[in-house]
């Protein structure tokens, strides 16, 4: 038999503290330890405190779950968007992420893909993760589940227009004015048979209201037809042109305002493939000024919408650095004239 001292254990051989170790140190059952970290609502505050203190002493939990239990929330902010495939939301997320990083925070992005059911599921997930706050660009109006989160203590900022009185902050560009700018630009070119094409969204409704106001205020006869689509994608825009191209010349528009740039780019492609000369035969205006707008085969005239700045501002509001009032007038829309619309001798906006 070889004598000598026992060999030292390597770090790998030292067993990590277990649930049983924490339970013994805290004087509770293993089930109580498990519930403390997975379903804290089932454990009394006194028992939770004992378990967390024991876990800290033993080094049992050195992760985000333990930190959340100690401080009551995570370093993460939730960002809910209705369609991450839309570059507008990618820009919104980039602005929010950069601002969050500057303050030591992180962004969890949830894409509902235009589904209210998926939206509700993500809101439940955000609550389970105890996010510090939520930036919400929902499918439509503010969902009741988000209002419930606010009542239970999770702050949120609506990146959009709130309808009626509201107790939560909401920030947005002036969509009504943007629609007015777009239609006024077409009217100033001599276009008189306008069509507004857009989807079912509060922002788009405001853009349509602005376009209507521009036509109503115009001193010469002009018309505005409305075509509603379910979603505002390039594929849908191209499909709409196939319907338009079957019209007789007398029923064909000479100007189109699209609810967003993706829709406008699909319309542009379909019109050109159908033999329509843009802008000679028809002028087209999009909305948002996404990066692709300037690189289209015919660069797209559009309304600039500061998505990244909105995302950054929403984060600052959640962190208490600024308020909704501080943002008033900051996100005004801007007409960006490119080659899908004709130049006008006098581009009267009639902006009221």
- SS3 readout for the chain: CCCCCCCCCCHHHCCCCCHHHHHHHHCCCHHHHHHHHHCHHHCCHHHHHHHHHHHHHHCCCCCHHHHHHHHCCCCEEEEEECCCCCHHHHHHHHHHHHHHHHCCCEEEEEECCCCHHHHHHHHHHHHHCCCCCEEEECCCCCCHHHHHHHHCCCCEEEECCCCCCCCCCEECCCHHHHHHHHHHHHHHCCCCEEEEEECCCHHHHHHHHHHHHHHHHCCCCCEEEEEECCCCCHHHHHHHHHHHCCCCHHHCCCEEEECCHHHHHHHHHHHHHCCCCCCCCCEEECCECCHHHHHCCCCCEEEECCHHHHHHHHHHHHCCCCCCHHHCCCCCCEEECCCCCCCCCCCCCCCC
Residue 196: what pLDDT?
98
Low-confidence ranges of the chain (pLDDT < 70): 1-16, 37-41, 61-73, 344-352
Residue 55: what pLDDT?
82
% pLDDT > 90, the chain:
59
Residue 40: what pLDDT?
66
Residue 243, Cβ neighbours under 10 Å: how many?
10
Encoding tokens for residue 279?
């802008």
Residue 228: what pLDDT?
97
Considering the entire predicted model, what is its pTM? 0.73
Residue 17: what pLDDT?
76
Residue 73: what pLDDT?
62
Residue 333: what pLDDT?
94
Residue 344: what pLDDT?
61
- d(CA 243, CA 252) in angstroms, rounded, equals 10
Encoding tokens for residue 19?
């649930």
Residue 11: what pLDDT?
40
């Amino acid at each position: 038999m070889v004598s000598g001292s026992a060999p030292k254990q390597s770090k790998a051989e030292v067993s990590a503290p277990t649930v049983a170790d924490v339970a013994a140190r805290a004087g509770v059952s293993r089930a109580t330890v498990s519930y403390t970290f997975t379903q804290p609502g089932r454990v009394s505050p006194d028992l939770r405190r004992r378990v967390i203190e024991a876990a800290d002493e033993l080094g049992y939990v050195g992760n985000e779950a333990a930190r959340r239990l100690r401080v009551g929330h995570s370093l993460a902010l939730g960002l809910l968007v209705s369609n991450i495939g839309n570059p507008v939301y990618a820009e919104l997320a980039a602005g929010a992420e950069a601002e969050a990083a500057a303050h030591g925070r992180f962004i969890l992005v949830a894409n509902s893909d235009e589904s209210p059911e998926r939206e509700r599921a993500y809101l439940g997930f955000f609550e389970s993760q105890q996010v510090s706050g939520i930036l919400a660009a929902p499918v439509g109006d503010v969902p009741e589940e988000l209002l419930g989160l606010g009542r239970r203590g999770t702050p949120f900022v609506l990146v959009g227009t709130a309808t009626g009185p509201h107790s939560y902050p909401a920030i947005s560009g002036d969509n009504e004015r943007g629609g007015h700018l777009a239609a006024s630009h077409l009217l100033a070119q001599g276009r008189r048979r306008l069509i507004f094409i857009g989807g079912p969204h509060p922002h788009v409704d405001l853009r349509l209201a602005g376009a209507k106001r521009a036509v109503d205020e115009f001193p010469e006869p002009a018309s505005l037809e409305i075509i509603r689509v379910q979603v505002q994608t390039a594929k849908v825009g191209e499909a709409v042109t196939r319907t338009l191209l079957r019209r007789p010349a007398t029923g064909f528009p000479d100007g189109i305002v699209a609810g967003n740039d993706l829709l406008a780019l699909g319309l542009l492609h379909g019109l050109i493939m159908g033999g329509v000369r843009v802008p000679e035969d028809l002028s087209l205006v999009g909305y948002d000024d996404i990066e692709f707008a300037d690189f289209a085969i015919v660069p797209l005239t559009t309304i600039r919408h500061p998505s990244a700045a909105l995302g950054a501002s929403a984060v600052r509001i959640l962190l208490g650095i600024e308020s909704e009032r501080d943002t008033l007038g900051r996100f005004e829309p801007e007409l960006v004239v490119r080659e899908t619309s004709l130049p006008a001798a006098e581009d009267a906006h009639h902006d009221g």
